[in-house]
Structure 1
């Protein structure tokens, strides 16, 4: 398994435009400098009135297939 750590700070309005189809993915840069592109729908469980903010850990399998996304 691979794990990637990153911080995210997206306002509520910005995220809604992503989720509603303006863009279907969110691009993040990990602590190690890797650029990852994830479907916006993966972040929906973390959406609050403030948007999406915090530290996250993405876990993938050896083929970089999504396993889970969690807050830290």
Structure 2
């Protein structure tokens, strides 16, 4: 399994574009500078009144298929 670590700070108002389907993916940069495009729906469990804020770990299998997203 592969682990990708990144920090995300999207205010609630901005995340509404993703939540309503206007935008379908979120572009993040890992701590190592790798650019990843993730489905916005994967972040729904982490949305609060402030939006999405914090450190995350994306876990993929050896074929780079999504396994899970964790809040750290």
TM-score range (shorter-chain normalised) is over 0.9
* SS of residue paired to 2:49: coil
* SS of residue paired to 1:57: strand
Q: Which residue of 1 aligns with 2:48?
A: 48
Structure 1 gaps of 5+ residues are: none
**Residues paired across the two proteins, number:** 72
* SS of residue paired to 1:49: coil
* SS of residue paired to 1:21: coil
TM-superposition CA deviations, 1:20-71 (whole Å, max 9, x none): 1221000000000000000000000000000000000000001100001001
Q: Which residue of 1 aligns with 2:19?
A: 19
Q: Which runs of 4+ in 1 moved over 3 A?
A: none
Give TM-score scaled by structure 1 length: 0.97
Q: Which residue of 2 aligns with 1:59?
A: 59
Structure 2 gaps of 5+ residues are: none
Give TM-score scaled by structure 2 length: 0.97
Q: Give the CA RMSD over aligned residues.
A: 0.6
Richer in helix (by share): 1
How far apart are the structure 2 equivalents of 1:57 and 1:21? 23
